[in-house]
Structure 1
Amino acid sequence: MGGENGDAAVAPAAGEKEEGKEKGRRKFAVLLCADDSEYVRKAYGGYFKVFVGLLGEEGEAWQVYRAAHGELPTAAEADGYDGFVITGSCNDAHGDDPWIEGLVAFLRTLDAKKKKVLGVCFGHQILSRALGGTTGRAKKGWDIGVTCIHPSHTIIKSQASLHIPSHLPVIEFHRDEVWQLPPQAEVLAWSEKTGIEMFRYGNHIMGIQGHPEYDKGILLHLIDRLLQRNLIQTCHAEAAKASIGMRQPDREAWKRLCKGFLKGDLLW
């Protein structure tokens, strides 16, 4: 099924897809795995714009596919993209919803084509599943707030030009995790709560459990939604909010790392 053109500044105008390709315009797709809340639509223009704000650059074409509604590129359409980003979701990556099983099959197609794929939170977990790993409920429960993760020597030394710090704060918002990596995958970062915060598979696939794209406003909004639905206790919400005052996510370092992977030629 075809995707919808995003109206972000770096996206092509209607009818420009082929023309942009002929001009050598780089193309990327966001596979949106959750519906936008009213707050995110009004404050940010939707999660698609949030990701383009983090990763997009002038002259690129970005398109959104609403994967949670079964909307994905065809295998032929996938050939026209330089990279893909898979977002977070309210759903479980280990679920058997038809759209999730369709996404798993599509990700295996992207792997066979050696397409660059960056997975965030649910995207991180569903990539692991698609490639032969396992996911499930986090053994230490919800991880919400600003968490400091520890990148491996692989990232710090081999990607020295990106200046990735040894302690890297990121916003976390998850209760599932990768239990076991796919064969031949490598752990790239860990935290006190989560053993697999990042992983790579070859040079073309990378998963991140945290949310480099989130800011304080999105995190506070999501915490309040969990409270309203009685999914967390007040003490957990207060601790998560307090973490924001203790440290700030290193958005610039995450931007360098994500862009370096998605658009560069990182060799591990």
Structure 2
Amino acid sequence: MKIVAAEGGRRKKYALLLAARDSEYVRKVYGGYLEVFVRAFGDSDGDGDGGEDWDVFRVVDGEFPGDEELDGYDGFVISGSPHDAYSDELWILRLCLLVCDLVAMRKRLLGICFGHQVICRALGGHVGKARGGWDIGIREVAISETLPPYMYLNGVLQRRLSAATCYAKITEIHQDEVWELPAGAEVLASSSKTGVEMFCFGDRVLGIQGHPEYTSDILLNLVYRLSTAGSITVSMAMAEGVRRQLETTGPDREFWIELCKSFLKTEEE
């Protein structure tokens, strides 16, 4: 499936490596997770370079881009997933190998939640169950005051730090976390719940534990589905707590989306 963003000129091309299956709600309301990501990170008006194309590869079902296709993409996004990034399921092991290939090719690679964790694993770090249990709802994360000199960071994070706003709220729903970063990676944000909320590995790899792409209704639908599916770890009381929280606060979604788009589309010198 492909979403075409604009006409004319040289078109940038991105791939969503989808590690989850579309829920009935997301299919009905948004047309699937590809559309959710394109709405968040895509550039439907063009970027002065002719616009974008987005493809989806459902890696959770064993659908991967061929080796000959990789060079045609400007960037890749690995989505969240209900699966464990430390599992040895075949498709997860294949995804780890693909991550290593993309890093070697110096392709831009953005990992969200599970994607953040699987990139860490693939590059030699360690991930596992969150020591503090589930983190669900809106979480305030602290941005590191010392940032690497990458253009996409200086363009977004540095402005926030310059404005004396060292925190940003993000949507969270995860029970796994990064325990130890791979050698050479740097922590960009942390929280009271999770030590590695965001990290980079050079100027071409970015991992974010939260969900910049999620809207409040997607989060609520997911939480209520978990709470009514017989889960012993996500209760109805927890779901109600998230609903009440969202009545009074929300994520700094525009900030996170700007950061992700800046990362995917900034050309480092």
- Does the alignment reach a TM-score above 0.5? yes
Distance 1:150 1:141 in 2: 20
Listed as ranges, the matches of 1:16-165 within 5 Å are 23-57=9-43, 58=46, 59-155=51-147, 159-162=153-156, 163-164=159-160, 165=165
CA contact (8 A) 1:121 1:210 kept: yes
Shift of 1:156: 10
**Aligned AA (1:161):** G
CA RMSD of aligned residues (A): 1.9
- 1:10 aligned to 5, 10, 14, which one? 5
Shift of 1:234: 2.7
Shift of 1:241: 2.1
Identity of aligned residues (%): 47
Distance 1:199 1:11 in 2: 31
Shift of 1:251: 1.2
The change in CA–CA distance for 1:266 and 1:146 in structure 2 (over 3 A counts) is farther
Distance 1:9 1:177 in 2: 34
CA contact (8 A) 2:172 2:211 kept: yes
The change in CA–CA distance for 1:133 and 1:99 in structure 2 (over 3 A counts) is same
Q: Which moved further from structure 2: 221-230 or 83-92?
A: 221-230
Q: Which moved further from structure 2: 120-129 or 74-83?
A: 74-83
CA contact (8 A) 2:169 2:250 kept: yes
CA contact (8 A) 1:83 1:262 kept: yes
Unaligned regions of 5+ residues in structure 2, if any?
Answer: none
Question: Which residue of structure 1 lines up, in the alignment, with residue 264 of structure 2?
Answer: 262
Shift of 1:235: 2.6
Q: TM-score, normalised by structure 1?
A: 0.89
Question: Which residue of structure 1 lines up, in the alignment, with residue 189 of structure 2?
Answer: 189
Q: TM-score, normalised by structure 2?
A: 0.89
Q: How many positions carry a matched residue from both structures?
A: 253
Distance 1:50 1:11 in 2: 18
Shift of 1:266: 5.8
Distance 2:5 2:235 in 1: 41
The change in CA–CA distance for 1:11 and 1:70 in structure 2 (over 3 A counts) is farther
Distance 2:134 2:57 in 1: 28
1:222 aligns with 2:222: yes
